[in-house]
C-alpha cells in the first residue's frame, strides 16, 4: 500500500476508534451540485466525512474520454472544504494501482453487460474494482451514491451484499439543472446549443412518467414516446431507451412492479445518461 492510501485507511480507523461514524463519498471530481448533495447527506448522517477524488482509468474504454474527462483539483478542494469534508483522498493512478492494472478483478455479473455495460464494455468491472478497493481502504462506513447512475448503484449494492462488504449503501436522488438536465461533470463539455438540446433527456423521462400516471403500463409505448422525444431533437443521437425492473434491471414489457426508465444519447462527442423511477 502506498503512504497516501495508508494514511487514508489510518485516519478512518482512528475515527472509528473514537466511536465516530464514517460517511464516504466516492467521486471522480469536477465536483458539482450532485456531488455536493451526497456530501451534505453524509455530513447530516455521519460524524466523519471522507470524499475520494479519482478518475479511474479502469472504467474508461476510450482513451480520449479518459484524457478529456474534466479535472479541477483546486476547485474540488475548495468545494470539499466549503461542505465541511473532514478528509479528501485524491490519489494519483500509481498511488492507487502501484502494481499496474489489477490482475485479480471483480465480475459485475449479468447486469454488468446490459445497457451501460453493453455500451461501454469493461466499464462496470473497472467500477467494481475501484469501489471495492476504496471500500477496503475506507473500512466500515456508509457510502453515498447517486441515483443518476442507477445501474452503477444497483451493481455496487449487489457487490456489497454478495461479498458481505462492511458498507451500507445510501442512494441519493438525482440533482438537476432548472431545465431538468441531470448534473454531470461531462455537461461542462457541451456547447451552448448542445447544452440546451440535452434537456430532451429529462423531458423524455418526464413524458414516460406522465404516461404512467395516466395508467399506461405498456413498456413499448413508453419507450416509443421517449425515443420520439429524443429523436425530435436534431442535436441528439439516441443510444438507447429502456424500461427495466427496478431491482434486476431486466427489461420489462409491462409496468407491474417498480420499474425504471433509462435513456442514453450523444450530443456531439459527449454521451449523457439519465433515468427515473416509474411507480405503477
Ligand atoms: P462521478 O464523479 O460522476 O463518478 O459521480 C460520483 C457520485 O456522484 C456517483 O455516486 C454519482 O451517481 C453521483 N452523482 C453524479 N451526478 C449526480 C447528480 N446529478 N445527482 C446526484 N448524484 C450524482
Q: How many CA atoms lie within 13 A of 273 on its CB side?
A: 17
Is there a contact between 50 and 176 (Cβ–Cβ < 8 Å)? no
Is the CB of 184 within 6 Å of ligand 1?
A: yes
125-147, pLDDT tens digit by residue? 999 999 999 999 999 999 999 99
Give the pLDDT score at 132: 98
Query: What cell was used for 141?
Result: 462506513
Query: What cell was used for 276?
Result: 427515473
- Cα separation, 258 vs 196, whole angstroms: 31
The alpha-carbon radius of gyration of the chain (Å, integer) is 19
Question: How many angstroms separate the most distant Cα atoms in the chain?
Answer: 57
Give the pLDDT score at 203: 98
218-261, pLDDT tens digit by residue? 999 999 999 999 999 999 999 999 999 998 899 999 999 999 99
Cα 183 to middle of ligand 1, angstroms: 8
Is there a contact between 51 and 29 (Cβ–Cβ < 8 Å)? no
Give the pLDDT score at 272: 98
- Cα separation, 46 vs 140, whole angstroms: 12
Give the pLDDT score at 280: 78
Is the CB of 182 within 6 Å of ligand 1?
A: yes
Is the CB of 149 within 6 Å of ligand 1?
A: yes
Is the CB of 117 within 6 Å of ligand 1?
A: no
Give the pLDDT score at 1: 86
Check: pTM over 0.75? Answer yes or no.
yes
Taking the C-alpha atoms of 134, 112, 160 and 26 in order, what is their torsion angle to the nearest 10 degrees? Answer: 30
Low-confidence residues of the chain: pLDDT under 50 = none
Question: What's CA 219's distance to the chain center, in Å?
Answer: 24
Give the pLDDT score at 56: 98
Is the Cα torsion angle 151, 176, 168, 83 positive or negative in sign? positive
Q: Work out which ligand 1 atom sits closest to the CA atom of 174.
A: 20
Give the pLDDT score at 279: 84
Q: Work out which ligand 1 atom sits closest to the CA atom of 25.
A: 7
Give the pLDDT score at 78: 98
Amino acid at each position: 500500500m502506498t503512504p497516501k492510501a495508508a494514511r487514508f485507511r489510518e485516519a478512518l480507523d482512528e475515527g472509528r476508534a473514537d466511536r465516530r461514524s464514517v460517511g464516504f463519498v466516492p467521486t471522480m471530481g469536477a465536483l458539482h451540485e450532485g456531488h455536493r448533495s451526497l456530501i451534505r447527506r453524509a455530513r447530516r448522517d455521519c460524524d466523519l466525512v471522507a470524499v475520494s477524488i479519482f478518475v479511474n482509468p479502469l472504467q474508461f474504454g476510450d482513451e480520449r474520454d479518459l484524457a478529456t474527462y474534466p479535472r479541477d483539483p483546486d476547485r474540488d478542494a475548495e468545494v470539499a472544504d466549503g461542505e465541511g469534508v473532514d478528509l479528501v483522498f485524491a490519489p494519483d493512478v500509481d498511488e492507487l494501482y502501484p502494481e499496474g492494472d489489477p490482475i485479480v478483478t471483480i465480475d459485475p455479473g449479468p447486469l454488468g453487460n446490459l445497457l451501460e455495460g453493453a455500451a461501454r464494455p469493461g466499464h462496470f468491472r473497472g467500477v467494481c474494482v475501484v469501489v471495492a478497493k476504496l471500500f477496503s481502504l475506507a473500512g466500515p462506513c456508509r457510502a453515498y451514491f447517486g441515483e443518476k447512475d442507477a445501474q452503477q448503484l444497483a451493481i455496487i449494492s449487489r457487490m456489497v451484499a454478495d461479498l458481505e462488504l462492511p458498507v451500507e449503501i445510501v442512494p441519493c436522488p438525482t440533482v438537476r439543472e432548472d431545465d431538468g438536465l441531470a448534473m454531470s461533470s461531462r455537461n461542462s463539455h457541451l456547447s451552448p446549443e448542445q447544452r440546451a438540446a440535452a434537456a430532451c433527456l429529462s423531458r423524455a423521462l418526464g413524458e414516460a412518467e406522465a404516461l404512467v400516471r395516466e395508467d399506461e403500463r405498456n413498456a413499448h409505448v413508453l419507450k416509443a414516446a421517449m425515443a420520439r422525444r429524443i429523436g425530435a431533437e436534431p442535436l441528439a443521437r439516441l443510444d438507447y431507451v429502456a424500461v427495466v425492473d427496478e431491482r434486476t434491471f431486466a427489461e420489462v414489457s409491462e409496468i407491474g412492479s417498480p420499474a425504471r426508465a433509462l435513456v442514453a444519447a450523444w450530443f456531439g462527442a459527449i454521451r449523457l445518461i439519465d433515468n427515473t423511477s416509474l411507480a405503477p
